[in-house]
Structure 1
């Protein structure tokens, strides 16, 4: 089967690898001139690392393992501790915080040269009269009875590409999604993130004060001004972010770090120390968007995955994980279900409910809200067990795998 993937992000690259392994002829088209390695860091939970293991992608050296999440208030008082190692032990796959670029490069390196075509911006997707015809089998010669391709992608340079299946993995501003749903369903949540990925030498006084850099735990610090998150990302790197209430029409500060220091500088350590050590050159900014996830992600021989199918804020750290889930599930559906329409129905029935549950939780922005009384009254053991169960509820991969109770160390 000839498959065109639009977008060389996490989901698109993972889908390309899985589908090529099954014998399909896959090309990934990326609008950027090279791999997009921005995006600070991300966390893969057991569902994401489990999918990578199933795809044969090693997580060795990608980042730092995470066993514990601690929530504090702005004064440094402990509110909650979530033992996420319970889920890693139960499911047999670790939790790892890593620079996004590490994962992108690892996935890209698993593909043969020429699989990714750069400088190709999709402008339009169209389908011919055979768009809903069935396609059987899984190899390069596995086409329907007619020889006509069922979908066409047009690029801004005037060139076109044809395939039996087009996968829109082109992110939160997806062009392919407009073909499937006709409109952009996303709306801002009223929150935004300033984030960075900075190196802290653990042998310096500052590095020793920021012991989280060399730990296996993450900090989530909440207050009336917003939320600060800190996670080790491996190799002396610290992922840091500040979530603040913000509307898209607010003017951007000319000096974002100075603005963050004015807003959060009075918080307890280690927040002021982090802000004192980073610069505007380290900062990335993005507005949070959300939408109701439809039950249908496909139209004819065109389907969606990742942010194109379920744009969500980063507040539950599932964006990359859900994209990996989509890639794994789509490949499985094409493997076990004859015919593109039937396979896409299988894919949607396996993913839409779980992605919708994840997107609703993320879109509520609950983890950003200052609720100290509720946090203190929730027993740590209860929230740790809930986190373990939550991962299975939102994961097609973990739901289809028996629990693994042996200790896991990344």
Structure 2
């Protein structure tokens, strides 16, 4: 492929050194952001390494955001994890599919070469953005981190706007940032694949291969044999870890593509049980490879000027938590978040530093976990590692890191309730923080709520501080959109109003003394009348904003839409409602057995010289028990259905000049599954006077 003069007006010109998993994922993500991407790969991809990798739920999730469905490349779902002693005695068996409900996405096992080919097609084929240009047999001999240039072996010099080093553990680009070099971890690994049918046809090995999606492991303190399927369960992948004193790597050749005799493999595992050895003996000597397991000191930085490194170039992993490929994928997605299509060229060095801030702690923490896992660890420790690794969405995480960075660029912006959505526009500042000056001068209730499963990582970005957390480690969170129509309010002259809010269930607040309050967290409540908004914000610390709320209630349906001066941003529907016993309802939002409602108060200081400073900032709690004593509520009618729908459109600043920063974030919340939908009517509306400052 020849180098082309690309349209300089379309996005950044991104040069990526290395077209492995990390480089190709970065190319896909960055082309979708509108950038012009070129990859430089020293090999011709003529002989891909025959091995498989894990796509853990955290990696699979961000890939799916990019439109990558690994099942299209023959990926299979991990269903069982079985561990044995070398003698074949069962240590424990985990039914992975039973635990799968904790994760929003599946844990997949995929042939590396097939996965790599799928990424290449996605990077170069039809889709969002201009196809990436892949230059194979293009060895990079030098780069300039500050000029973002690549020099090839043939003398060609190519200049870009940003330079990414995805050139693996023996990275050239890393040398422009650090003198650190990889060294032996003390371990080597045999890698090979065999036909699953071959194992099934052998009566001695059939029992190992007969279960789909099974990950099997035999280990002692020094050696480990791991077998798992890929390619639609048609192949079995082998990774055999052992001390590097058992085998010898030829450092003069390609250390990642070394053939070795089958006798060496069988000798290393001569004390393992006959069934395992029988499987090892099926290795094809022509495809059996020996790999060194390399490690490297933690780098002080991954960024220099317009250069950022990712994947193994920045943080090589030992293969004990199946995270090497996953971390490269997360790095790539983070870079695309930090480099949106409208970024200016002079912002690149700063944004690469933000990428490092988003990724450094997580990647190095998991890197240390792989080192710890090279020795036997307790099931509790292993589970803690799994929760940390799998319970994450890097797109959501990096988006929040970037938001906070952008917010910090103007420390004098006004911040008002609810601060989790960012600095709020209002009469005295626009969405960019610029001064507007004079441009802007006995009760009843009916509550309709839709409860759903969604992403914990995305919702926790709406928590105002680290003291708020989910009670469950699951990445599946529960939340409700709940709308109430109030009537007969004496303080409104017998009239009423409507409100609708987002309620996040299963949340706890940990106080400074260590005690914990459990409840439902409400980051936003919209109301259609100014008076309750003002009083709720000022007297209770409630995060209230205005929106129009139109309700259409019939015998078996309940529909509502939300808007601002004619700009409709929300549709909520409940159909096929059926009456149930009113006593069957718990009486709380979403029917949760929690202790109350958690909110967060923020009030700015007054005065031009005090912009960005808080007059009051603290958590607030509304306990259900105390509220029920003030004015007891009685449910007179309860209707339920499973037929419910939520549609939210963020629109733009022109359509929603005071709400876009909130509504656009609500529109990002995925509705994975409707859990419950109901309409509850009754009498007795507490005045929320039990709201209290937590500390």
Deviation at 1:111, TM superposition (A): 2.2
- 1:244 paired with 2:242, answer yes
CA–CA separation in structure 2 for the residues paired with 1:204 and 1:155: 50
CA–CA separation in structure 2 for the residues paired with 1:124 and 1:106: 29
CA–CA separation in structure 1 for the residues paired with 2:176 and 2:226: 37
Q: Which structure has greater strand proportion?
A: 2
Q: Equivalent residue of 2:177, what SS?
A: helix
- 1:129-140 equivalence runs, <5 A: 131=146
- 1:165 paired with 2:162, answer yes
Q: Note closer, same or farther for the CA distance 1:107–1:340 as it changes in structure 2 (3 Å cut).
A: same
Q: Note the alpha carbon deviations across 1:336-395, whole angstroms, 9 max, x for none.
A: 97611221121111100011011112234x34x3x4xx65xx4xxx46753542224676
Q: In the alignment, what sits opposite 2:470?
A: none
Whose radius of gyration is greater, 1 or 2? 2
Deviation at 1:194, TM superposition (A): 0.6
Deviation at 1:115, TM superposition (A): 1.3
1:201 equivalent among 193, 197, 202: 197
Q: In the alignment, what sits opposite 1:188?
A: 184
CA–CA separation in structure 1 for the residues paired with 2:267 and 2:324: 30
1:331 equivalent among 336, 340, 355: 336
- 1:404 paired with 2:480, answer no
- 1:7-406 equivalence runs, <5 A: 7-34=18-45, 37-61=48-72, 62-85=74-97, 88-112=100-124, 115-127=133-145, 131=146, 150-181=147-178, 183-201=179-197, 204-205=201-202, 209-212=206-209, 214-223=211-220, 226-235=223-232, 236-247=234-245, 250=248, 256-335=261-340, 339-364=347-372, 366-367=373-374, 369=375, 371=376, 378=379, 382=380, 385-392=383-390, 396-397=394-395, 400-402=457-459, 403-404=475-476
Q: Which moved more, 1:347-356 or 1:118-127?
A: 118-127
CA–CA separation in structure 2 for the residues paired with 1:169 and 1:213: 38
CA–CA separation in structure 2 for the residues paired with 1:306 and 1:344: 15
Q: Note closer, same or farther for the CA distance 1:334–1:63 as it changes in structure 2 (3 Å cut).
A: same
CA–CA separation in structure 2 for the residues paired with 1:358 and 1:293: 12
Mapped contact 1:122–1:153 kept (Cα < 8 A) = yes
Q: Note the alpha carbon deviations across 1:289-318, whole angstroms, 9 max, x for none.
A: 112333521100011011101012112110
Structure 1 portions without partners, runs of 5+: 132-149
Mapped contact 2:223–2:241 kept (Cα < 8 A) = yes
Q: Note closer, same or farther for the CA distance 1:266–1:75 as it changes in structure 2 (3 Å cut).
A: same
Count of aligned residue pairs for this structure pair: 375
Q: In the alignment, what sits opposite 1:135?
A: none
CA–CA separation in structure 2 for the residues paired with 1:398 and 1:385: 23
Mapped contact 1:46–1:94 kept (Cα < 8 A) = yes
Q: Equivalent residue of 1:316, what SS?
A: coil
Q: Which structure has greater helix proportion?
A: 1
CA–CA separation in structure 2 for the residues paired with 1:248 and 1:205: 29
Mapped contact 2:173–2:309 kept (Cα < 8 A) = yes
Q: Note closer, same or farther for the CA distance 1:305–1:19 as it changes in structure 2 (3 Å cut).
A: same
Mapped contact 1:193–1:243 kept (Cα < 8 A) = yes
CA–CA separation in structure 2 for the residues paired with 1:275 and 1:151: 47
CA–CA separation in structure 2 for the residues paired with 1:54 and 1:207: 43
Mapped contact 1:305–1:326 kept (Cα < 8 A) = yes
Mapped contact 2:62–2:394 kept (Cα < 8 A) = no
Mapped contact 1:213–1:237 kept (Cα < 8 A) = no
CA–CA separation in structure 1 for the residues paired with 2:80 and 2:364: 26
Mapped contact 2:260–2:289 kept (Cα < 8 A) = no
Larger RCO (CA under 8 A, 6+ residues apart): 1
Q: Note closer, same or farther for the CA distance 1:79–1:271 as it changes in structure 2 (3 Å cut).
A: same
CA–CA separation in structure 1 for the residues paired with 2:273 and 2:246: 29
Deviation at 1:224, TM superposition (A): 5.2
Q: In the alignment, what sits opposite 2:597?
A: none
Deviation at 1:85, TM superposition (A): 3.7
Backbone CA RMSD of aligned residues:
2.7
Q: Equivalent residue of 2:229, what SS?
A: strand
- The two structures have a TM-score, normalised by structure 1, of 0.83
Q: Note closer, same or farther for the CA distance 1:224–1:260 as it changes in structure 2 (3 Å cut).
A: farther
Mapped contact 1:3–1:165 kept (Cα < 8 A) = yes
CA–CA separation in structure 2 for the residues paired with 1:248 and 1:162: 46
CA–CA separation in structure 2 for the residues paired with 1:359 and 1:78: 28
Q: Note closer, same or farther for the CA distance 1:224–1:120 as it changes in structure 2 (3 Å cut).
A: same
